[in-house]
Amino acid sequence: LGPNGSGKTTTIKMLLGLLYPTRGRISVFGKAPTDVAVKARIGFLPEESYLYRFLVAHETLDFFGRLFRLPKPVRDERAARLLDMVGLKHEAKRPLGEYSKGMARRIGLAQALINDPDLLILDEPTSGLDPIGARQIKDVIRQLGDKGKTILLSSHILADVEDVCDRVTILYGGQQRAVGDISELLREREITQITTPALAEETIQQIADLIQRVEHKNILSVSNPRQRLEEFFLRIVREAQAANVRTSGATGGGGLPEFLSTSPEATTAEVVASLVSAATQIIEPTPAPRPSAPDRTADPARDVLRELLGAPSAEADEGPEEPRSPTLPPPPPSTRRSPSGSDQSVIDDLIQRSDDKSRKRDESSS
68-82, 252-266, 328-342: least confident range: 328-342
- pLDDT of 20 > 70? The answer is yes
Per-residue pLDDT tens for 125-151? 988 888 888 888 999 999 999 988 999
pLDDT at residue 253, rounded to an integer: 66
Q: What is the 3-state secondary structure (H, E, C) of the chain?
A: CCCCCCCHHHHHHHHCCCCCCCCCCCCECCECCCCHHHHCCEEEECCCCCCCCCCEHHHHHHHHHHHCCCCHHHHHHHHHHHHHHCCCHHHCCCEHHHCCHHHHHHHHHHHHCCCCCCEEEEECCCCCCCHHHHHHHHHHHHHHHHCCCEEEEECCCHHHHHHHCCEEEEEECCEEEEEEEHHHHHCCCCCCCCCCCCCCHHHHHHHHHHHHHHHCCCCCCCCCCCCCHHHHHHHHHHHHHHCCCCCCCCCCCCCCCCCCCCCCCCCHHHHHHHHHCCCCCCCCCCCCCCCCCCCCCCCHHHHHHHHHHCCCCCCCCCCCCCCCCCCCCCCCCCCCECCCCCEHHHHHHHHHHHHHHHHHHHHHHC
Q: What is the mean pLDDT of residues 308-325?
A: 50
- Tell me the backbone φ, ψ of residue 122, rounded to 5 degrees: -120, 120
Class of domain 8-276: alpha beta
Pairing of strands 150-154, 42-45: unpaired
pTM above 0.75, yes or no: no
Taking the alpha carbons of 138, 171, 148, 187 in that order, is the dihedral positive or negative? Answer: negative
Q: Which position has the higher pLDDT, 269 or 212?
A: 212
Per-residue pLDDT tens for 270-300? 666 666 554 444 545 545 455 555 454 555 5
Do residues 152 and 15 touch, judged by C-beta distance below 8 A? yes
Q: How far apart are CA 96 and CA 229, in angstroms?
A: 31
- Mean pLDDT for the chain overall: 78
pLDDT at residue 346, rounded to an integer: 66
pLDDT at residue 272, rounded to an integer: 61
Please state the domain extents for the chain.
Answer: 8-276, 300-365
Per-residue pLDDT tens for 155-187? 888 888 888 999 988 888 888 888 888 888 877
Which span out of 63-77, 253-267, 292-306 was modeled with the highest average pLDDT? 63-77
pLDDT at residue 339, rounded to an integer: 46
pLDDT at residue 332, rounded to an integer: 53
- pLDDT of 75 > 90? The answer is yes
Q: Which position has the higher pLDDT, 346 or 165?
A: 165
pLDDT at residue 108, rounded to an integer: 93
